[in-house]
């Protein structure tokens, strides 16, 4: 599965192993996994990815820092990307991260989703306009442009191919229904996914899936303890008493049929089963590492010499300005219940590992200890 900024797509169906999970943040890096906190319902299976450990990391050119959509090429040889400014498909080398080819299909616009359907590529604009591109091996192509029932207020972002039902699914980031006033009233707690039937070339005016944020709240309360729920809420900014969820990408697992939906706000992935039931919620947890890095960077007592663009979200090495205090730091930390902070034997210093077992409260405790240690040793 691949995630690019605000885009999510499964691996090409010809290669169904689904072992890789690509994540591209704004800094134009391609990761195949990122730190996360996963919440599963009882009906959910184990997530088929190792979210903690990247298999591959590719540094992408500066031109691709605003990627808004990503999929595999029809032959599976490249990653195909779009950005939200140009009508260009970028064919990215899977091994180097370099752009092997650019294919212009339209003029400038807010392009948000891209998906491969057999030998064709489909692209959607935020306004709901869909582009169908054939003969992609040619140097110059003509795209078929179609405007359907979705409006600008829906803010179409995610695009996925439902092979079983021969349809494209479109995730709406904003208004879930087709009349302009829907966000003003009861619909503000709803999110919608519409379906474009590829046989009839028509959208069904009724959402294929509808996400109710009140059900999301109920899911979390049912599957997490009160303390765990409070931690989850702490790392996600709550909006109007609801956990924020604004779909910006989606993908369908080719084996299970589960639907993975990425939210740009809250940095979460929701997992639905094929009937639309919420079976999992995953936090792409950047906030824990940011909280620790921000404190380390505040002054000279603690240092981290790694360039920001190369920093890990999971293993955070740091040193004391006075190396003689390192051993004392580790001993005092263990007395406070903070373990495994000793750095790698070849590197020295200190290291904090922020894997799933480390909740946000644990990072807060570590930072508090670091502040106290500095206070009594300067």
List the domain boundaries for the chain.
Answer: 2-285, 288-376
Position 105 pLDDT exceeds 90: yes
Contacts of 322 (CB under 8 A, 6+ apart): 377
CATH class of segment(s) 2-285: mainly beta
Q: Within the chain, what is the greatest distance between any pair of CA atoms?
A: 73
Looking at residue 168, its pLDDT comes to 95
Other CB atoms within 10 A of residue 96 CB: 11
The pLDDT of residue 127 is above 70: yes
pLDDT of residue 232: 62
The CATH number assigned to the domain with range 288-376 reads 3.90.1150.10
Token digits of residue 323: 């190396």
Using DSSP, state whether 333 is helix, strand or coil.
Answer: helix
**pLDDT the model gives residue 364:** 85
Phi/psi at 152 (5° precision): -60, -35
Instruction: Say what the alpha-carbon torsion angle 49, 52, 56, 57 is, to the nearest 10 degrees.
Output: 140
Q: What is the pLDDT of residue 187?
A: 72
Question: Could you give the 3-state DSSP secondary structure of residue 59?
Answer: strand
**pLDDT of the residue at 47:** 57
Helix (H/G/I), strand (E/B), else coil: 365: helix
Model confidence pTM above 0.75: no
| Residue in 153, 166, 164 with CA at minimum distance from that of residue 122 | 166
**Local structure of 23: helix, strand or coil:** strand
Confirm whether 2-285 and 288-376 share one CATH topology: no
pLDDT digits (tens, 9 = 90+) for 268-288: 788 899 899 888 877 766 667
Could you give the CA distance from residue 103 to residue 323 in angstroms, rounded to a whole number?
Answer: 54
Residue 276: how many CB atoms within 10 A of its CB? 14
Residue 240 has pLDDT above 70, yes or no: no
The yes-or-no verdict on residue 86 having pLDDT over 70 is yes
More confident residue, 84 or 296: 296
Which pair of tokens denotes residue 181?
């006033």
Residue 92 has a pLDDT of 92
Would you call 196 exposed, middle or buried from its count of C-beta atoms within 10 A (0-12, 13-18, 19+)? buried
């Amino acid at each position: 599965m691949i995630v690019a900024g605000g885009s999510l797509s499964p691996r090409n169906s010809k290669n169904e192993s689904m072992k890789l999970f690509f994540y591209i943040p704004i800094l134009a890096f391609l990761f195949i996994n990122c730190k996360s906190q996963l919440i599963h319902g009882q009906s959910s299976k184990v997530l088929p990815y190792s979210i903690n450990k990247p298999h591959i990391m590719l540094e992408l050119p500066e031109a691709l820092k605003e990627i808004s959509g990503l999929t595999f090429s029809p032959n599976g040889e490249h990653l195909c990307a779009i950005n939200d400014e140009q009508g260009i498909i970028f064919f990215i080398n899977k091994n180097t991260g370099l752009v092997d080819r650019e294919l212009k299909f339209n003029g400038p616009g807010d392009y948000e989703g891209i998906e491969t359907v057999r030998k064709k590529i489909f692209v959607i604009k935020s306004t709901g306009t869909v582009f169908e591109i054939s003969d992609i091996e040619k140097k110059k192509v003509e795209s078929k442009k179609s405007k359907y029932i979705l409006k600008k207020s829906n803010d179409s972002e995610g695009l996925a191919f439902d092979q079983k039902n021969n349809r494209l699914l479109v995730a709406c980031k904003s208004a879930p229904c087709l009349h302009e006033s829907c966000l003003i009233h009861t619909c503000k707690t709803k999110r919608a996914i519409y379906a474009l039937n590829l046989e009839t070339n028509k959208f069904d005016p009724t959402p294929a899936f509808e996400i109710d944020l009140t059900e999301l709240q109920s899911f979390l309360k049912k599957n997490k303890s009160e303390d765990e729920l409070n931690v989850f809420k702490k790392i996600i900014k709550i909006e109007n008493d609801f956990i924020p969820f604004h779909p910006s990408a989606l993908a369908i697992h080719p084996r299970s049929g589960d639907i993975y939906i990425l939210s740009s706000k809250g940095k979460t992935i929701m997992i639905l089963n094929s009937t639309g039931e919420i079976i999992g919620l995953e936090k792409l947890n950047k906030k824990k590492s940011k909280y620790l890095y921000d404190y380390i960077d505040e002054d000279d007592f603690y240092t981290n010499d790694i360039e920001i663009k190369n920093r890990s979200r999971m293993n955070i090495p740091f040193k004391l300005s006075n190396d003689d205090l390192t051993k004392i730091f580790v001993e005092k930390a263990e007395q406070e219940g903070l373990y495994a902070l000793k750095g790698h034997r070849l590197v020295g210093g200190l290291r904090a590992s922020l894997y799933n077992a480390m909740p946000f409260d644990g990072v807060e405790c570590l930072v508090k200890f670091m502040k106290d240690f500095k206070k009594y040793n300067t």
